[in-house]
Amino acid sequence: MDELSLPSRSRGTTERRKTDDRTNLLEDRREVIEIPKFGMAEEVVHSAIVLVADDDTATRNLLSGLLKAEGYRVFGAQDGQEALDFLITGDPAVALLDVMMPKLTGFEVCVAAKANSETRLIPIVLLTGLSSTDDRIRGITCGADDFLSKPVNQEELVARVKSLVRLKEFTNELESAERVLFSLVLSIEAKDPYTKDHCNRLSRYSVALAERLRLPSHLCRALHLGGIVHDVGKVAVPEHILLKAGPLTPEERQIMEHHPIVGERICAPLKSLRHVLPIIRHHHEKGDGSGYPDRLKGEEIPLTARILQTVDIYDALATDRPYRRAMPPEQVFSVMHEEANRGWWDDSLICEFQSMIMKTP
Ligand SMILES: [Fe+2]
C-alpha cells in the first residue's frame, strides 16, 4: 500500500482536519512511497487523490507512477478490503480497481461502494483483461463507471482519470448545492418542534411505497429528496404565519399557499432535482381541484406528488400535534378513506400504503 496525502488550502476547516487525520493515519502505514511537503506547486497541492487497487505490486506501482507524473496523489491498495476502506475514509476523486483481488474482488468493492450514500458518487474504473467481455458486463451490473483494459495504455489511463476527476468535481459542486438546500430545510424544521423528523419519515415512507409500486429508480430517488425538500418554500413564510395556532386570515393563507411555488423556484436551478420539482409544486393539490397552486384534478396531479401526499397525511394524523394526540393507524386510515371518498386523495394509493403499514400482503 502506498499513498500521498496533504491538506488542500482550498478546503474548509472540517475537511482539512479530516485530511490531516488521514495523513497521520496513512503515515503509520508500512509502504508509504511519498509524502509531499508543504510549499509544493499550487497545482500539485490541489491535485486529486486517485485510489489504485491491485494485488500485483508491479502493476500497482506502474499505474501509481504514471498518475503521480501527472500530478495526482495516489493511494495504492493491495486487496479489495483495503480499497473499500480507503473509499470510505479517504474520499478519492477516482478509484481504479483490479477485478481479481484477495479478500474482496473489484466487483464486490464496486457494489459495496455504489450501495453506500457516502461513496456512491466516486467514479470507479475496473481494470479488466483485454478480451474479457464477461467482466465488462458484470462490471456494468455492479455499477462501474468505466473500464480500462490491461495492459493499460498510458495515454488512455491519463485521459480517463482526467475526465472522471473533472466529473467528480462537478458532482462535488452539485452536492454542496444540495447540502445548502438541506440545511435550509433543517432550519425551517427547527422552527417547529412538532414537525421534527417529519421530513425524514416522509422520505422513508414515500420511497417504500414507490418501491412497492415498482416505480423506476429515478422517481424513488425523487421521492427520497422530495420528502425532505418539499416544504423548502416555507422559508419565505413569516414565522408568525408559519407557527400561528389559530386559523389563518385570507391574506395569511395566500402567503402560506405560495410556498410550493417558492420551493419550486428555489430548486429549479439544480438539475439533479428536476424530477423533484413536480412533487414540490403539487404536494398541496387535491383530487377534486380544490387544492393549490394549480387546482389540478385526479391524475393530472403527478403520481409522485400523490404518493407524497398519501404519506404526508398519514404522518400528520399518526403523530402528536399541539392541538391533538396521535391517532392509532386504524383511525388514521378511516379518516383518509373518508377524505378520499370526498374526492381529495387517491384511494388506491391509500389502500396500498395501508397494506404496507399494516403489513398485509
Ligand atoms: Fe407544504
Q: 299 CA to middle of ligand 1, Å? A: 19
At 69-123, the pLDDT tens digits run: 999 999 999 999 999 999 999 989 999 999 999 999 999 999 999 888 788 889 9
Q: Where are the beta strands (DSSP E) in the chain?
A: 49-53, 73-77, 94-98, 124-129, 146-150
Q: What is the pLDDT of residue 193?
A: 64
At 13-61, the pLDDT tens digits run: 333 333 334 333 333 333 333 333 333 333 433 489 999 999 999 999 9
The hierarchical CATH code for the domain 13-172 is 3.40.50.2300
At 305-336, the pLDDT tens digits run: 999 999 999 999 998 877 788 999 999 999 99
Cα–Cα distance, 178 to 233 (Å, whole number): 15
Residues 49/91, Cβ–Cβ less than 8 Å: yes
Q: What is the pLDDT of residue 9?
A: 31
At 122-166, the pLDDT tens digits run: 999 998 875 667 777 888 888 888 888 888 888 888 888 988 888
Q: 234 CA to middle of ligand 1, Å? A: 8
Number of neighbours of residue 286 by Cβ within 10 angstroms? 19
Q: 309 CA to middle of ligand 1, Å? A: 9
In the numeric block, which cell numbers belong to residue 165?
476527476
User: Which residues line ion ligand 1, judged by CB < 5 Å?
Assistant: 231
Q: 283 CA to middle of ligand 1, Å? A: 6
Domain with CATH 3.40.50.2300 in the chain: 13-172
- Look at the domain 192-357 and name its fold: Hypothetical protein af1432 (1.10.3210)
Residue 179: pLDDT band with limits 50, 70, 90:
confident
Q: What angle do CA 223, 226, 230 make, to 5 degrees?
A: 150
